[in-house]
C-alpha cells in the first residue's frame, strides 16, 4: 500500500511561552511563523504532499482550507495534548505517516519525500527525563521536537497512552513509544539549526530549524521576501 503522508505544522495563534522557556528568541508575540512557512516552502510543496497547519483554541477568524483549529489549548503547556490531537486528526483522516514539524522549520519537501523510510518513529536522537506520576523520572530516548516522523501505528500508540507529566511534547512522544515498545530509528539528515557548526557538519540535511532571527533573514533574502518578523 502506498503511504499517505501528512506534513503537520504545529503552530499557534499567538506565541505564548512558559516563563522557563522565555529568552532572547522565545518571546510572547504575535505569531508570524505560518506566513513565513507559506512563503518559503509550504506553497512550493502543494501537489507533492499534504501540508496542514494546526492551531489550538483562541482564533478570531475562520480557518483557511489548509488550517485546522483543534479543541485544545494553544499555549506552551498545552503542546502535549495539542500534538496528540494532531495525531488523532491524522488517523481520523486516513494518513499512514506524519512528519510533525514546528512552525520555525524550513523543509525541503522534495528531499524529505525522497528520504522517506517506512518505519514507525524516526528523527534526530535526543535523551532526557520524563516525570512518571510526579514522583520519579524515567530517562528515555526521543526524536528532537522540531521535525520527526511517525507511522499510523506509532500515532495510535501515543493517543492510546496516558499523558505523561511533562510539558515537552517530543519527550512525551518518546516516552509513550518507549512504553509501547516502538524504538526510535535515528536520523542524521532530518533536522539541523543554521549555525556554522551544524552547517559544516558532513551530513545531507533536508530540514533546517530556522530559530534565530538572523537565520530567517538569510531565507528571506534568498526567496526575495519582505521582512515579516517582529523584533
Higher pLDDT, 167 or 55: 55
pLDDT single digits (tens) 147-162? 999 999 999 999 999 9
17 vs 144 pLDDT, higher one:
144
Confidence of residue 107 (pLDDT cuts 50, 70, 90): confident
Sequence-separated (6 or more) residues with CB below 8 Å from residue 65: none
Who has greater pLDDT, 131 or 120? Answer: 120
Is residue 145 very low, low, confident or very high in pLDDT (cuts 50, 70, 90)?
A: confident
pTM of structure: 0.82
Which position has the higher pLDDT, 179 or 85?
A: 85
Q: Looking at residues 137-149, what average pLDDT do you find?
A: 82
- For residue 197, pLDDT beyond 50: yes
Residue 25, number of CB atoms within 10 A of its CB: 11
Q: What's the average model confidence in pLDDT over 4-30?
A: 73
Mean pLDDT, rounded, of the chain: 81
More confident residue, 142 or 6: 6
- Indicate the pLDDT class of residue 169, thresholds 50, 70 and 90: very high
Q: What is the DSSP letter of 181?
A: T
Which pLDDT belongs to residue 23? 46
Looking at the chain, the whole-number percentage of residues with pLDDT higher than 90 is 45
pLDDT at 202 over 70: no
How far is residue 103's CA from residue 42's CA, in Å, rounded to a whole number?
A: 11
**Domains of the chain (ranges plus CATH)?**
5-223 (3.90.550)
pLDDT of residue 218 exceeding 70, the answer is: no
Q: Mean pLDDT: which of 21-30, 54-63, 107-116 is highest?
A: 54-63
Give the full edge-to-edge strand order of the sheet including 5-10: 67-69, 50-55, 5-10, 97-102, 136-151, 121-132, 185-186
Sorted by sequence, the CB contacts under 8 Å of residue 107 that are 6+ apart come out as 7, 41, 42, 45, 99, 101, 147, 206, 207
For range 31-45, the mean pLDDT: 86
Compute the distance between CA of residue 37 and CA of residue 12 in angstroms, rounded to an integer: 13
Task: Give the containing element (helix H, strand E) for 215.
Answer: helix 213-223
CA–CA separation, 78 and 173 (whole Å)? 14
Amino acid at each position: 500500500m502506498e503511504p499517505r503522508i501528512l506534513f503537520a505544522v504545529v503552530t499557534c495563534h499567538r506565541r505564548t511561552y512558559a516563563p522557563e522557556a522565555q529568552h532572547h528568541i522565545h518571546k510572547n508575540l504575535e505569531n508570524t511563523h505560518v506566513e513565513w512557512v507559506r512563503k518559503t516552502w509550504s506553497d512550493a510543496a502543494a501537489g507533492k504532499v499534504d501540508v496542514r497547519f494546526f492551531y489550538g483554541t483562541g482564533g478570531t477568524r475562520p480557518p483557511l482550507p489548509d488550517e485546522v483549529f483543534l479543541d485544545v489549548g494553544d499555549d506552551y503547556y498545552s503542546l502535549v495534548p495539542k500534538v496528540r490531537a494532531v495525531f488523532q486528526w491524522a488517523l481520523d483522516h486516513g494518513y499512514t505517516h506524519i512528519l510533525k514539524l514546528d512552525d520555525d522549520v524550513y523543509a525541503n519537501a522534495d528531499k524529505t519525500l525522497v528520504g522517506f523510510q517506512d518505519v514507525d518513529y524516526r528523527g534526530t536522537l535526543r535523551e532526557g527525563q520524563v516525570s512518571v506520576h510526579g514522583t520519579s523520572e524515567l530517562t528515555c530516548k526521543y526524536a528532537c521536537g522540531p521535525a520527526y516522523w511517525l507511522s499510523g501505528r506509532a500515532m495510535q500508540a501515543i493517543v492510546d497512552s496516558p499523558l505523561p507529566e511533562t510539558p515537552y511534547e517530543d519527550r512525551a512522544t518518546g516516552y509513550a513509544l518507549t512504553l509501547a515498545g516502538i524504538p526510535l530509528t535515528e536520523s542524521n539528515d532530518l533536522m539541523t539549526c543554521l549555525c556554522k557548526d551544524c552547517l559544516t557538519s558532513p551530513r545531507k540535511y533536508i530540514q533546517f530549524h530556522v530559530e534565530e532571527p538572523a537565520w530567517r533573514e538569510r531565507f528571506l533574502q534568498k526567496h526575495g521576501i519582505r521582512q515579516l518578523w517582529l523584533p
